[in-house]
Structure 1
Amino acid sequence: MKLAEALSLRADLQKRLAQLKGRMKESAKVQEGDTPPEDIAVLEKEFDSLLGQLETLIYRINVTNLATADDEGATLTALIARRDVLAMRVSSMREVLDFVSEPDNRYGRNEIKTVRLVDVAEARRKLDGHSRSLRELDMKIQGLNWTVELK
């Protein structure tokens, strides 16, 4: 199985666990005299089984990420960490730019005037560069995910 397939399977297991948790909640408490829609013990057994599968899959994904390196020697784990931090940088920069770019809503001369302390054009140029780096890094990670076998 390719790493990308394992990642897809992990996402599916997480969705199934969330749905199962909802079913367990519906069956855990009912009005007096009513019967639960499903047997909670059966649901718990299925939940435990899925959790075991998820734990094994996460372990195998992590082992694979640590053992797989790109052509420059960086492990997938390092690339993922770099991508996560770069995504935080892009998100934060975009949020600041959106805030700074908002129009000044002064309705009269007596209201407080705000002044931009950021060169918006330069900040957008930097943001574009970081966004491009993020896309390229993400494509590199996706490429490795589809070529490497799960350990």
Structure 2
Amino acid sequence: MAIIEQRLTAMGLELPDSLKVREGLRMPFAWVRVRGTRAYISGHVACNRDGTLAKPLGKVGAEVSPEEGYASARLVALAHLASLKRAVGNLDRVTAWLRIFAMVNVAPGFNETPLVTNGYSDLILELYGPDAGAHARSSIGMAIPLNAPVACEAEVEIDE
């Protein structure tokens, strides 16, 4: 078993299936686009192990607490890892996490998006360590598709 997957197992975490969306909702894009030594990971939302949309849904600072938002961001990271594994075969191929763009579904007045997005960053740093796991990041508030609390996209470097 690969090192990153061993770490996930030791943490009691499992990678989810691909996101299952309602019938009729088209997703005409690649979840991961590999180009040379870069993998561009499309925006993902939190999903359960079976690929269904994870709850709670709603705006952070209203229906969703910052702590629940943090947990949702962590699930987004797992969804990214799952898509990345399907695309490149082995999560150990990731040599560097370069950039995370996090979008938080915020209630009016909620401006602490970094507290939410830390759920994503903390998991990546724990799995990959400070060298490969360190990344640039933006964390902004906006309306999110499917009323998910958090959506993220990412860019990673992979070995050839």
More strand by share: 2
Name the TM-score, length of structure 2 as normaliser: 0.22
More helix by share: 1
| Structure with max Cα Rg | 1
